[in-house]
Amino acid sequence: TAARLRERADEVASAILTSVAEPFKTGRVVAHAGASIGIVLMPEDGHTTGQLRENADLALYRAKQMGKGKACFFNAEMDAAAQDRRKLETELREAIERDGIELAYQPVVAAKPGQITSAEALARWTHPDRGPIRPDIFISLAEECGLIDRLGEQLLRRACRDAQEWPDHVRVAVNLSPLQFLSGSLIETVRRAIDDSGIRADRVQLEVTEGLVIRDVERTFEQLEALRALGIQVLIDDFGVGYSSLSYFQRFPFDKVKIDKSCVDDIVTSRAAKAIVQAVVGLGEALDMGVVAEGVETEEQMRILVASGCTHLQGYLFSKPVSVHTLRKMLMAKRNLGAKVSKAA
């Protein structure tokens, strides 16, 4: 019966896991091995070898997620989740092909005198059935299925074209995925985007995260230097979370540091968060780097950040990310989003 079959499979899997986990002696050392197991049953989980192998793979994937040395049976939800992902991947591919990923722009204001000095381009995808998909979701999907270079280039080109219509002193900031540094063609892509749009290179900022430094440090820094040589500004994003290392600053002079929202969130209540911000500001002053605080939501946060010496602020307190049209209106109206900042400063 099916129940009996399941039980048998479970027993066999446990036996395999136990026996593999047994340490064994090699010539010089005692070695440990481990295994994860995905299980499919025939006929309920598939009729063809292809189908069974694919489903076993999904079960194996789940087993690995559960931790080391586990066995996991396939079930229909795994298949549904995998199909869902494949579907989303196809739809994302199509959206990229017809240039359907949009950009919203979030202003950044100078602490003094409170004017908009730049706007950050943030990717937006409105799915025909599901509505807006969060960028962290579709950006990582694009990274996983090899679409990020194409998408990144598309967004960069659009951002440069858009910014070309803004007042000359307003810069545009574009986020880069660490993977875009692996393609070998990033510099050329950036150079072409700037040339084709006609924008002055020093009006373009690229936001990179520390994630990029982890793989091939030397090649990454070489590319950052080449980008800098084009005349653009390089910002380090999400500083203060993860493995942010001070040694990056020794290796490469970033134009600005963006302090992550998580630090800003805690600044009112946490002495540590405040001390981190002050330390980054000190670093910025010593190395001629601007310091941007992102995700500023309250006046109290703003007051502390300005008093601590942050040079630029960004967050819902000033403006949410808005459409390119709305941004253009804000820039034309010379709206002083930072009126409150100037008062605090």
Site for ligand C2E, rule CB under 6 A = 106, 121-123, 134-136, 139, 155, 175-177, 237-238, 261, 294-297, 315-316, 321
Nearer residue to ligand C2E within complex by CB, 70 or 203: 203
Residue 297 binding target from Ca ion, ligand C2E, none, CB below 5 to 8 Å by type: ligand C2E
Residue 207 found at the interface with Ca ion (CB under 5 A): yes
172 binds Ca ion (CB under 5 A): no
Q: In this structure, are residues 263 and 237 in contact, taking their beta carbons and an 8 Å threshold?
A: no
Contact between 152 and Ca ion (CB under 5 A)? no
User: CB under 5 to 8 A by kind: which of Ca ion, ligand C2E, none does 17 bind?
Assistant: none
Indicate which of Ca ion, ligand C2E, none lies near residue 155 (CB less than 5 to 8 Å, by partner kind): ligand C2E
Which DSSP string corresponds to 114-132? --EEEEEEEEEEEETTTEE
Touching Ca ion, residues 92-121 (CB under 5 A): none
Residues 6+ apart with CB under 8 A from 27: none
**Which ranges in the chain belong to alpha helices (H)?**
2-21, 49-66, 76-97, 135-144, 148-163, 186-197, 217-229, 247-251, 261-266, 271-287, 299-308, 324-332, 339-344
Q: Which amino acid is at 175?
A: N
Which residue lies nearer to ligand C2E by CB, 68 or 215? 215
Residue among 133 and 176 whose Cβ is closer to Ca ion = 176
Residue 193: CB minimum distance to Ca ion, A: 18
Paired tokens of 166: 């803004």
Nearest to 340 by CA among 308, 301, 294, 309: 301
Q: Could you tell me the smallest distance in angstroms from the CB atom of residue 219 to ligand C2E?
A: 19
Q: Would you say 149 or 237 has its CB closer to Ca ion? A: 237
Q: Judged by CB under 5 A, which stretch of 23-31, 32-40, 87-95, 230-238 contacts Ca ion?
A: 230-238
- Distance, in Å, from the CA atom of 281 to the CA atom of 311, rounded to the nearest integer, reads 9
